Every structure is written in C-alpha cells, then in structure tokens.
Amino acid sequence: MVEKLNNTPEYGEQDHEAPDETHSERIKQERERAIERERASDGDVEQLKEEAEKAAEVEKKKIEKEAAPVEKRRDTPAQRRARQKANFKATMKDTQSHMSVPSRTFSKVIHNKTVEKTSEVVGSTVARPNAILAGSLSAFVFTLVIYLVAKYYGYPLSGFETIAAFAIGWIVGLLIDYLRIMITGKKA
C-alpha cells in the first residue's frame, strides 16, 4: 500500500489551495490589467460604434438622395432666383457699406431694378457696340470730308453735319450687326 504523499506540504511542494501572498498579488495585478484593457477596448469599441453609425447615416442619406426623384433633387427655377436675389442683396449691402455717401446714393440709383432693366434693353437693341463704332467712324470721316469740301468752296457749316453723319453710320452699323446675327446665328 503505497500512499501518495506527493502533494503534501511535508515534501516541499506547494499547496494549491493556500497560495502565498506574492502569487495572489500577481493575480490581482493581472486582473486589474485585464480590466483596464477591457475598459480601453470598450472605449475603442464605443468610439468605433459611433463612427460606424455616423458613416451609416451618411451612406443612408447619400442613397436616399440618389433614390430621390429628380424633381426633389434639383433646385426649381424659383428657388434659384430667390437664392440669387438674396445673394445679390447681401453683396450690394456689403459693398455699399464700404462706399462714401455720394457713391452709395449713386450705386442705389443705378442698381435700381427699373434703371437696370432699361439699361439692358437699350444695350441689347439700340446701343449695340458695332452700331456705335460704325456711327463714330462715319461721323469722323463724313464730318472731315464735309468740312474740307465746305472750306474749299467757302460754304458755312451749321454743326448738324456731325450729328447726321453719326446717325447715318449708326443705322448702317445696326443693319450690318443684325445681318451678321441673321446669317451666323451668333450674338457675340
């Protein structure tokens, strides 16, 4: 009958049921480290969850935007006009705030809707650049010729010659400009 005496404290082996204090301290430290790692990883996990949720929301909005009807995605002309009008007002207010009082008053007058519309209509019909250029050149050339002829023959000039020469040149310039537009189909 052989007794097993291998696990008895008499033979110098440690009793597993009664560990010494250093071993228990080591176990406590390892547990604390494990708890700290779990807390750190829990914080990382929470942060990763938040980032994933944000990314999912952005992706969801992107998908909704792509799946939305064309009418809802695009600005309507009324929305564009309203936004453009608001931007123009803000820009004018900011620009005019940097001007002197006379400049600000003049700016308000020339940027009045009535004055701007009138200017656009006149600029696109009557005061065409080519017509004014043709009128100026014809006024110069015809007035010079008429002046030289009148001086040579001794006729007095009334002063209307320059105005008439400009008007004739302007009409010719308008006709040339409109013919060019009719033939090519391009305004500029």
pLDDT tens track for 5-46: 555 555 555 555 554 567 677 777 777 777 776 666 656 667
Q: Cα(first)–Cα(last) distance of the chain, in Å?
A: 121
Name, in order, each residue with C-beta under 8 angstroms of 83's C-beta and a sequence gap of 6 or more.
75
Residue 138 has pLDDT above 90, yes or no: yes
- Overall pTM > 0.75: no
Q: What is the distance between the alpha carbons of residues 61 and 80, in angstroms, rounded to a whole number?
A: 23
d(CA 186, CA 4): 113
Please tell me the distance from the alpha carbon of residue 170 to that of residue 178, in angstroms, as a whole number. Answer: 12
